Amino acid sequence: MARKTELTLSIAFALALASTGCGTGTQRQAAKESAGPVNAGATETSLQIPTLDGTTASIDQYKGKVVLVNFWATWCAPCRTEIPWLIEFNQKYGAKGLVILGVAMDDEGTKIVQPWVQSHRFDVNGKAEEMNYPILLGNSKIAEKFGGILGMPTSMLYSRDGKKIKTIVGLIDHDDLLKTLDSQI
């Protein structure tokens, strides 16, 4: 009987870990405090977040579009699982008003993220595809502006008027998000 209880607890613990994704990487977050200034008065939608190409992006600049912000990291296995889905969503809905912003939370920033993004291809409906949406460079201060990140991946969906309508902690449910996007686009 004790063995059965131990097995049940082990399975429950594994499921809890799987549902939350990679975790927050507490040590990784602490190192990011020096990753650059964040406008203290900015809201999550007006916050200017650095991009891989050296510019900045904000949710506000996409008013009138549905915006999916996806916090991820190159070292996060569940994040890599959902990247092909995000590519697929962007292919399907990009021309109809969806914007996906991938916020990379790697400590090393551009040094690690840029070559990773350039070298990785993902199987999307049998075709090798690159990440087809903007990649931004996050840190713990940016994550705090979005209400904190409990684990990665974490995705937040904003309506065409900039209101947050959904937060997903852990791996997205492909079909559920597809239905939500269908209703918003």
What's the CATH code of the domain at 117? 3.40.30.10
Cβ atoms of 106 and 113 closer than 8 Å? yes
Q: Is 184 helix (H, G, I), strand (E, B) or coil?
A: helix
Q: What DSSP string describes 42-62?
A: --TTT--EEBTTS-EE-SGGG
Position 13 in a domain:
no
Question: 56 is in which domain, residue-wise?
Answer: 22-184
Distances in whole angstroms, Cα of residue 4 to Cα of each of 8, 10, 13, 62, 170: 6, 10, 14, 52, 28
Cβ atoms of 87 and 128 closer than 8 Å? no
Q: What is the pLDDT of residues 66-81, one digit of tens each?
A: 999 999 999 999 999 9
Q: What is the pLDDT of residues 24-59, one digit of tens each?
A: 443 333 333 333 444 455 588 889 999 999 999 999
Q: In the structure encoding, which two tokens stand for residue 2, read together? A: 């004790």
Position 11 in a domain:
no
Position 1 in a domain:
no
Position 6 in a domain:
no
11 or 111, which is more confident: 111
User: C-alpha angle with apex 150: 171 to 93, nearest 5 degrees?
Assistant: 40
Position 49 in a domain:
yes
Position 17 in a domain:
no
- Where does the pLDDT of residue 169 fall: very low under 50, low under 70, confident under 90, or very high at 90 and above? very high
Domain count for the chain, please give it.
Answer: 1
Q: In the structure encoding, which two tokens stand for residue 102, read together? A: 């991938």
pTM: 0.80
